[in-house]
Amino acid sequence: MAKLLYNLFLFLYAAGIRIGSLWIPKAKKWIEGRRQQDFSSINSPFTIQHARVVWMHCASLGEFEQGRPLLESLKQKNAAIKIILTFFSPSGYEVMKNYKGADHIFYLPMDNVFAAKKFIDTVNPSLVLWVKYEYWYYYLQELKRRNIPVLLVSGVFRKSQPFFKFYGGIWKKMLLNFNHLFLQNEASLKLLQTIGITQNVSVSGDTRFDRVIEIANQTLDSAIVTSFCEKNTVIVAGSTWEDDEIILSAYADQTKHKEKLIIVPHELDKTHLDLVRKIFKRAICYTNIENDKSLLSNISNYDVLIIDTIGMLSRLYSYGHINYIGGGFTNDGIHNILEAAVWGKPIIIGENYEKYFEAVDLVACFAAESIADVNEMKEVVNDWLTDETAYNESAVAAKKYVYENSGATKKIMEYIYVNRLLTN
């Protein structure tokens, strides 16, 4: 029965994507990307036929950034290995399709018996890394059948997931196909114990801590951002949605634009960017200045800089005196708070953050503050900017938290080489 329900889910999911592709750009890319990709390049004798192959699968961009430190550490230790990188979502594939750290990058074909066998035949991996979540039954079953080692990297579990429901038998079976489950926290370990998973599981921490520390060693050299900030107090707001932008705009208006704002919308499609421009009246877009350098001389006339290009956010946080993480007023919750915390600046987030343990921890140590509306934002910002001691304590707590929780990549690397998963 469980497998029947799983297959029904796969059918309905694929059907929904096909219908949605008629008007949703991401769904269209999901369909077209899989239809157009060609696996024949893998069979070249100059690529992977005589090499150890590491296959890493990520749901989307966030999971890739989570697995990236491990992938790059493996390549650094053994340059001869070949890397296959797959994504399920266009938001991961489209951004990273030209990533130089992988030999081949693909969309993962939709899960079924035939697709799993064909893909694994083609890739022939020596080691498989599954990042955080997104479990596909037929792929995991086929890997288990072939005795190909599979590791879960930075796994995290919550009671609401199907593993812990009465119908969760097939999901538990998927977990048993992993050689080892590396978890982010003790809470996840305890949850797995309630369904009898006590072997081949350990708490390693979250590889995202290692990744954001790597990023913090790469400064952003942007004449546009530097000129915009000058000697002003700056709030950088990353991965914002409409609710965030409305609060930020109201804050700017009510405080007479006392601080400058750098806004990095989560969605960069034309519809949302038009909305952001409408909300922020005294704003200029980054690409406008890039395309017309004469605008740079007048950038001090603007109070808001809208970043309408990708790849800058994680380093932009270094410019903020206070950083704001978007998504806290959506159902999914806040985006990557660690990207901001590593720079040692106080952080503001929305109310929906409870399912992100790192956000809970940062609030608990007063490195971050949660707000419900513009009035609370004004109060929080004022407290930090008028009390130097409080500001410094929050800043130090943010950076300290990140560095104290690093090291997950090293633990997983040790497991791989102690167990000779790439040397047998």
Render pLDDT for 350-389 as a digit per residue (tens, 0 to 9).
999 998 999 999 999 999 999 999 999 999 999 999 999 9
Judge: domain 2-205+407-418, CATH 1.10.10.10.
Answer: no
Answer yes or no: are the C-beta atoms of 233 and 257 closer than 8 Å.
no
pLDDT at 71: 95
Q: How many CB atoms lie within 10 A of CB 248?
A: 24
Answer yes or no: are the C-beta atoms of 197 and 166 closer than 8 Å.
no
**For residue 167, what are its two tokens?**
């119908």
Average pLDDT taken over every residue of the chain: 93
pLDDT at 3: 84
Instruction: Average the pLDDT over 337-356 and give the result.
Output: 96
Domain(s) of CATH 3.40.50.2000: residues in the chain: 217-404
pLDDT at 4: 84
**For residue 172, what are its two tokens?**
């538990």
CATH topology assigned to domain 217-404: Rossmann fold (3.40.50)
pLDDT at 190: 96
pLDDT band at 24 (very low <50, low <70, confident <90, very high): confident
**CA 101 – CA 99 distance, rounded (Å):** 6
Pairing status of strand 283-285 against strand 180-183: unpaired
With pLDDT > 70 as the criterion, what percentage of the chain qualifies? 98
pLDDT at 303: 95
pLDDT at 43: 63
pLDDT at 205: 94
**CA 328 – CA 71 distance, rounded (Å):** 30
Q: With 0-12 CB in 10 A as exposed, 13-18 as middle and 19+ as buried, what is 72?
A: middle
**CA 89 – CA 71 distance, rounded (Å):** 19
Domain(s) of CATH 3.40.50.11720: residues in the chain: 2-205+407-418
Instruction: Average the pLDDT over 186-213 and give the result.
Output: 95
Instruction: State yes or no: pLDDT of 45 exceeds 60.
Output: no
Instruction: Average the pLDDT over 31-44 and give the result.
Output: 81
pLDDT at 307: 96
Query: What letters, b where the CB count within 10 A reaches 16 and e where it falls short, cover 302-337?
Result: bbbbbbbeeebbbbbbbbbbbbbbbbbbbeebbbbb
Instruction: Average the pLDDT over 97-103 and give the result.
Output: 93
Answer yes or no: are the C-beta atoms of 261 and 305 closer than 8 Å.
yes
